[in-house]
Structure 1
Amino acid sequence: MTDLSHLSAPGTEIAVRVTPKASRNRVTFEDGQIRVYVTTVPEGGKATAAVVKLLAKAVGVPKSRLDLVRGQTARDKVFRVSG
């Protein structure tokens, strides 16, 4: 998994591109963009919940410290690390 611990400072905004229904869960850094692949389907917020779990692990913070700023139903999402 990609180490994103340098993004764990409070107030940091993390822009990600989400790919639901992927073959496996993973976080990568491709073409200057963080990409999160999740196996869950994008219905009822399940994919977003899976993204939060994976991203929190990659950044090294608890899930409760990641707040979704933009992109509730979009593939491009922005999360903020709370203090």
Structure 2
Amino acid sequence: MKKEFFLTIYLQPGSKKSEICGMHDGHIKIKLNAPPVDGKANAALILFLSNLIGIPKSSIELISGQKSRIKRIKITGISQEMIDKKIKKSEQ
């Protein structure tokens, strides 16, 4: 059985740099330097998470929030504990 994990993210596109900025209303807050135009921020979010966690982009799926700042992401093939460790490490 494949491991599946869901994240809820508050996305702030159009920032100077891409980074995790802690929490916002119970969601992981991520700033991205991609603009919120034609799905560019969504694609950049998947690439950012792929690089951060160290898994292929194909293991990350945007479930909801295509046109919203609140995004629901499904990640497969990695445990919640590993994701939490990598996110905490990036915040330091």
Name the TM-score class by shorter chain.
Answer: 0.7 to 0.9
Of 60-69 and 24-33, deviating more is 24-33
Provide Cα deviations, 1:20-57, integer angstroms capped at 9, x if missing partner: 11111112322553111111111100011111111122
Tell me the C-alpha RMSD between the 2 structures: 1.7
Equivalent residue for 1:20, pick from 13, 25, 42:
13
Give the Cα–Cα distance (whole angstroms) in 1 for the partners of residues 3 and 36 of structure 2. Answer: 28
Secondary structure in structure 2 of the residue aligned to 1:58: helix
Give the Cα–Cα distance (whole angstroms) in 1 for the partners of residues 48 and 62 of structure 2. Answer: 14
Equivalent residue for 1:68, pick from 35, 44, 62:
62
Measure how far apart 1:11 and its partner are: 1.2
Secondary structure in structure 2 of the residue aligned to 1:15: strand
Q: What TM-score results when the alignment is normalised by the length of structure 1?
A: 0.78
1:47 aligned onto 2:36: no
More helix by share: 2
> What percent of counterpart residues are identical?
27
Maintained 8 Å contact 1:27/1:55: no
- The code of the aligned residue for 1:18 comes to L
* Bigger radius of gyration: 2
Of 52-61 and 63-72, deviating more is 52-61
Q: Give structure 1 stretches of 5+ with no counterpart.
A: 1-8
Q: Give structure 2 stretches of 5+ with no counterpart.
A: 78-92
